[in-house]
Amino acid sequence: MNDSFAERHTRVAALYSEEAMKAAAALLIEAYRRSDLTVLNRYALRIGAETITDRRSAGKLFSQLIMYYHPDRYAARKQELEVSLERRDNLALDALENAMKEDLGHGLPADAYEEFEYDETYTMDEADFFTNSFENDGYYADEEEGSQDGWAQDEWEPDEDRADFGFIEALRAEIFGNLDFTLLPKDLIMLDGEIVLPGLGIRDLTGIEYCTGVTSFDLSWNRIASIAELRELDGLRQLRVAHNLIDDIAPVGTLTELEFLDISFNDIDDISDLTNLKRLRFLNVMGNEIRDRRPLTLLRSRGTIIVE
């Protein structure tokens, strides 16, 4: 084996530890809480993820980052290091080094690490994050207008012409704009991949049941109370419905292919149906008052990364 590669591998491997990943995860949670896109994007570049400019996409990026830096993923990172050594894979080693090469504690208060209990859960209080109210006709933030630490009001005030959409209306407006086009069930069945419709004032999901080819939905920051129509989407792998008015998550329990689920900041107190999701890798339940924690314990025992 090339000595220079072995030496470099030893140096990169030394960057990885549970404490280092704990520090990175703590920094990312703080950045997400403060809606700090600069920090989130810096880490996105380090792992080759797509950067963002719209805060409505912060939840998606945060889930990608936390799945890499969560301390429970330490074993996976160590395995990648071992494989790179066996194969003398310089590209893989480059990626591993880039992900951890900077000071992970930069910008964090000194006591953040002490408060961060990675062996249990990620915990954040709703009061420390965002409100789940829809006061002021669509102003979702609890910060003053123009605040750098919260969602600015003018970013989230729904357009008067687009508020209170149904799913079909919102989808048609996003795809076709002002064109006069009627979406029929046969058109919805043809859709696939990812559909992103955050912050459009959607209340009614009627029609979404025909989107059986779609594998990822982002419906965050809307006004959705019922997700009953999602029961039919048994091919769905990612679902983001953060910051809505949902109080019953039972329909999600039928989506057995689901891997990523963000239900943060709703009105959910029972997640027992989520134990049916054997493929679930990531779950964000921040801002919900979960009464029975046994489902969380079971999911965590299966390896699900949980943020609460």
* 176 and 86 share one domain: no
Which pLDDT score, from 0 to 100, does residue 132 have? 31
Rounded to whole angstroms, how far apart are CA atoms 35 and 150? 6
Residue 48 lies in a domain: yes
The backbone region for 287, taken as left when phi is positive above 0, alpha when psi lies in -120 to 50, beta otherwise, is left
pTM: 0.71
Q: Does residue 133 surpass a pLDDT of 70?
A: no
Average pLDDT value for residue range 104-127: 43
Rounded to whole angstroms, how far apart are CA atoms 239 and 229? 13
List, for residues 135-177, the tens digit of each pLDDT value: 223 323 333 333 333 333 333 344 444 456 799 999 988 887 7
Identify whether the C-beta of residue 90 lies closer than 8 Å to the C-beta of residue 203: no
Residue 260: strand pairing partners:
238, 282
Which pLDDT score, from 0 to 100, does residue 164 have? 62
* 57 and 178 share one domain: no
Rounded to whole angstroms, how far apart are CA atoms 159 and 169? 14
* 180 and 270 share one domain: yes
Residue 51 structural domain = 3-115
Q: Does residue 126 surpass a pLDDT of 50?
A: no
Percent of the chain with pLDDT over 70: 79
Residue 123 lies in a domain: no
Residue 100 lies in a domain: yes
* 69 and 189 share one domain: no
Question: Per the structure, how many domains does the chain have?
Answer: 2
Considering only residues 109 and 83, tell me which one the structure prediction assigns the higher pLDDT: 83
* 81 and 168 share one domain: no
Domain boundary among 61, 86, 115: 115
* 108 and 186 share one domain: no
* 29 and 165 share one domain: no
Percent of the chain with pLDDT over 90: 56
For 195, the enclosing helix (H) or strand (E) is strand 193-196
Identify whether the C-beta of residue 183 lies closer than 8 Å to the C-beta of residue 168: yes
**Confidence band of 118 (pLDDT split at 50, 70, 90):** very low
* 108 and 22 share one domain: yes
* 163 and 107 share one domain: no
Residue 128 lies in a domain: no
* 85 and 221 share one domain: no
Question: What is the layout of strands, in order, in the sheet containing 238-240?
Answer: 193-196, 214-218, 238-240, 260-262, 282-284, 305-307
* 111 and 176 share one domain: no
Q: How far is CA 245 from the centre of its chain?
A: 18
- What's the Rg (C-alpha) of the chain? 21
Residue 132 lies in a domain: no
* 79 and 16 share one domain: yes
Residue 181 lies in a domain: yes
Q: Does residue 16 surpass a pLDDT of 90?
A: yes
Residue length, the chain?
308
Domain boundary among 49, 82, 115: 115
User: Cβ contacts of residue 42 below 8 Å, gap of 6+?
Assistant: none
CA angle (141, 266, 195) in 5-degree steps:
85
Rounded to whole angstroms, how far apart are CA atoms 263 and 298? 18
Which pLDDT score, from 0 to 100, does residue 155 have? 37
CATH number, residue 209 = 3.80.10.10
Domain boundary among 87, 115, 143: 115
Identify whether the C-beta of residue 200 lies closer than 8 Å to the C-beta of residue 243: no
Q: Does residue 236 surpass a pLDDT of 90?
A: yes
Mean pLDDT of the chain: 80
CA angle (105, 262, 27) in 5-degree steps:
5
